Chains A and B, each alone.
Chain A
């Protein structure tokens, strides 16, 4: 039997007031009429807790767009889970936050698109900056811990010092600076988003200095730009190892991007229990452990460190989900990534960002 998962990422809806072109949601967004009902989600939380999950991340899209959010927060809390609200901040009024906190939200993760109002609102596609600043102050007033999340890319990486300063002003305990990972909308917009080597080289010491200066006050987590690295990220700390995702329509995914692997048979909570899906489904067992690996991963000591990297990225860039993540310098397909860097880091003509929209 596989070890129990620690967390459930509950994507309550794909609807979102923001239109960020790097969204990790799939291009085919789930429409409102296909979303799980309140009863479905309550059952999913029950099953996740029974399976071993202790953290429930209420995410999306924008979870505040679900009118049943208070009930779902209360239910997750009643199960003894740590309840994490992942939000754009749009719609998070003082009263709303106070009510959600009293029902059991333990921690708020607030997205920030850029350091300034102009930059933030351009990337988000709507006027959201002021509402984020207000939302942060409500979180602080309520005494909840705040994490600010910023996705980094070519359009905002030069402003990383300003983003760190903004997170400090917002009173964040943690700041996640995550270089864009290329799935869903981000993959679609990769040529607008890929940072240059110069940008990354300039940002690295700024982040390192801030980590040192803010030690004990604000923790800064820096997620690397993997296309530019020699080794892949330890994606999900292994397939079907620590966390599972339930999409708005009830699809159960080993990682939020897993729908891109078209050969994977995805199960749904309307048909099976999370227990059966986690332990027995072909999709969750497809890349568990090390047996599925081929060389160079199979005989590589780093397989215990990076688990062969990301299955979705392998599928997207090589067509084979069981291949070594092609960002790895040992991958026979590394040249594919190098070619992408060469042609897309500084394209002759800059493509226009496709803003995230429901079709």
Chain B
């Protein structure tokens, strides 16, 4: 699946994002299981707030990570949609 750049992703109901001290990694907890996120993915998921679009998230991350393209964010969000971690609107 593909996600448009003006789509607005939001973390699904029943999904918990937290930091695991044991694995020293950000994790997403949801009915089906656990996803261990790398730092970039964790930053993207943290901004899936139901307000920002994919484009907004790319802009917000540009300060922190050089060379973040909206296409990369869209691809990551698409993977999160497939894993039922986030929903997209718009």
Contact = CB atoms under 8 A, between A and B. Distances in A.
A143 B22 contact: no
Contacts of A55: 29, 33-34
A4 B22 contact: yes
Interface stretch (B10-18, B37-45, B54-62): B10-18
Contacts of B16: 82, 106
A80 interface: yes
Contact of A82 (B23, B29, B84): B29
Interface residues of B, number: 16
Contact of B31 (A4, A50, A145): A145
Interface in A131-152: 143-145, 147
A314 to B, nearest CB: 26
Given A143-B13, A145-B13, A84 B31 contact: yes
B27 interface: yes
Contacts of B69: none
B72 interface: no
Nearest to B81: A216
Interface string A49-72: 111101100000000000000000
Given A52-B23, A107-B14, A145-B13, A219 B84 contact: yes
A307 B43 CA distance: 34
Contacts of A174: 31-32
A81 B16 CA distance: 9
Given A54-B20, A144-B14, A174-B31, 17 more contacts: A4-B23, A6-B33, A49-B22, A52-B20, A54-B18, A54-B27, A54-B29, A54-B34, A82-B30, A84-B31, A106-B14, A106-B16, A107-B31, A145-B13, A145-B14, A173-B14, A219-B84
